[in-house]
């Protein structure tokens, strides 16, 4: 049986993605050596599941649907930008979530226990922080001018979006980058 690299995500509105791409372009002018996420792949990951057996997908998708139906739709705002772990040792460039971050965390926390019970998820060591990954630095060297570029983005905003559904996604890794496929859509209650 096939195994699929799987994750659960919130798709962003086109207007949010357009603003995120503009942010990537701005950062690319002052930060070299970053592999930027393709515009169509920009999303908010709730949980990364890793390799999931195809036979487990119906139960997985059903569980996600049950959880999302118990929670109301909500608005979130994509705003601010930073680096993980920090600007001195950047590895991942991200855009943050301000308004709605509590609801995103509540959704994550509601999904985690039943997915752990299903056996298709392993809890991460670090605390969940809602964010949109913009790109990954190719080296371990902090680019010159990074701190100045990041300081200018404290008040940056991509705007608000209404979260009405959650997607179970598969990710196929290719030399050109990952290709994402929506496996199921779970509507919020």
Cβ count within 10 A of residue 70: 10
Which residue, 183, 14, 160, 182, is CA-closest to 73?
160
| The 157-163 sheet, strands edge to edge | 34-36, 131-137, 89-97, 74-86, 157-163
What is the DSSP secondary structure assignment for residue 188, as one 8-state letter? -
How distant is the alpha carbon of residue 85 from its chain centre?
Answer: 16
Cβ count within 10 A of residue 58: 10
Indicate which residues carry an active-site annotation. 43, 131
CB 44 within 8 A of CB 10: yes
């Amino acid at each position: 049986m096939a195994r699929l690299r799987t994750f659960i995500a919130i798709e962003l509105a086109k207007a949010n993605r357009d603003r995120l791409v503009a942010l990537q372009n701005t950062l690319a002018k002052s930060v070299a050596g970053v592999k930027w996420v393709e515009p169509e792949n920009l999303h908010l990951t709730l949980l990364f599941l890793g390799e999931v057996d195809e036979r487990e997908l119906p139960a997985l998708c059903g569980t996600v649907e049950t959880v999302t139906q118990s929670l109301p739709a909500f608005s979130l705002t994509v705003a601010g930008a930073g680096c993980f772990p920090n600007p001195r040792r950047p590895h991942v460039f991200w855009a943050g979530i301000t308004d709605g971050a509590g609801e995103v965390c509540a959704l994550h926390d509601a999904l985690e226990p039943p997915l752990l019970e299903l056996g298709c998820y392993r809890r991460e060591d670090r605390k969940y922080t809602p964010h949109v990954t913009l790109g990954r630095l190719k080296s371990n060297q902090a680019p010159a001018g990074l701190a100045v570029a990041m300081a200018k983005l404290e008040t940056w905003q991509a705007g608000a979006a209404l979260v009405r559904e959650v997607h179970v996604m598969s990710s196929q890794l290719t030399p050109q980058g990952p290709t994402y496929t929506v496996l199921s859509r779970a509507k919020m209650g």
